[in-house]
Amino acid sequence: MPFMRPLLLAALALLVSLPTAAAPLAICDGSTAVTLLGMDTASGRMLFSIPSTGEDGRGWLVELDPEGREARAWPNPPKGLFGGSVGPGPVLAVTSCGTSCLQPMRWTGGASDSGWEPLGDPLTSPTAATVTPTYDNTGAPWVILHGASRQDGQIQAWAFRMEGREWKNVGGQMVTAVGQPSALPAPQRKDGVLTGTALFSSSGRPEVWVTGVPSLPAERRGQIIALTGTSAAYVSADGVVYLSDDSGKGWRRSTWTPWGTQSTAGMWRQGTDYWVDLPVGDHRGALRLVWFDRRRPTEETVVLTRLAPSGDWIRLSETRSEVRSKSGEQLPVTQVLVPKGEIWLLLSGCAATAQGSGFVLRSFDGTALSASRFVPFRTR
């Protein structure tokens, strides 16, 4: 009927004007660099930084739970955020507030619009200093600054501890063997933190907590890790492990490998056939190492190991280093993390699917290694 035609045209116009279902937000894909910003070793929650895929230069922050089951994404983090903490408390970071001015920030998640809140007043820092926040075991926040030194193999460290709303200068110390993360809670003192060979605390003067470290050429120098009591480990730049039971008075090289002692006799070449790395986390009490086994290049595997209090090494699990997506893409392990207790996460970066972006990972709960899974990002 003629009078129906205008109504039909109006209905068609309305349908055309209705918004279609929005396409899943592409936050990242397999080519995107995913950076761990910080880790709360009390809750096990981790915060990752993902660069922008657009022209605005603003990226994303993704918070992942310790079991690797849920991931929540926040857009547009504060510009210039850096120096994330690994320690028992919400992630700390800093932003620049001018020349030689740093503003510490604390992650609040959904408790604030930006996800961050200023922590105390700004700090005045030396120029060209690197920054590492952390916590001590009383829950007090710290900021450690590192600057250049003229002494071979040493760097200058300065420590600041939050007291009330103010950052108290706890002093400075020359340090060596600073690792990654470069500051962690001290097992020696509840109110202290360690950075390399230095111990800072609110109840004492800065001091050196080890007698010495293994004497190695500059290209092989590595990082020191406090374990329990007077035990310490030193991991060289090429992945060789040295152990001490007497606060660094004496060191012995570990000759253990997951495949026996033949590798130390020259059958397998460390750095070529395999290499050793530290997973990111707090190693106090139990040193953990991840071995990347390339003795069979077409079947590269990852071996998870732990040093028991008895001094024996334990082989925990072994798996292929790559996972294959449904589209056939091969995703290698990009990060190994120990967020809490005996939990390990093997992160193979980001993937983009028809359902949106997310992490590809496997988890080890202390007993068994899971199958690979896709953890989609949930946005606000």
The pLDDT tens digits for 116-145 are 999 999 998 876 689 999 999 999 999 999
Query: Looking at residues 12-16, what average pLDDT do you find?
Result: 30
- pLDDT of amino acid 21: 36
Kindly report the backbone phi and psi dihedral angles of residue 177, in degrees, each rounded to the nearest multiple of 5, phi listed first.
55, 40
Per-residue pLDDT band for 18 (boundaries 50, 70, 90) equals very low
The pLDDT tens digits for 28-64 are 988 899 999 999 999 999 999 999 876 566 789 999 9
Q: pTM score, two decimals? A: 0.88
pLDDT at 15 exceeding the cut of 70? no
The pLDDT tens digits for 185-220 are 999 899 999 999 999 999 999 999 999 999 999 999
pLDDT > 90 fraction of the chain, expressed in percent and rounded: 61
pLDDT at 320 exceeding the cut of 90? yes
- pLDDT of amino acid 1: 41
Most confident of 57-61, 109-113, 262-266: 57-61
The pLDDT tens digits for 360-372 are 999 999 999 999 9
- pLDDT of amino acid 13: 33
Tokens of 281: 């986390």
Amino acid at 233: A
How far is residue 263's CA from residue 256's CA, in Å, rounded to a whole number?
A: 9
pLDDT at 17 exceeding the cut of 80? no
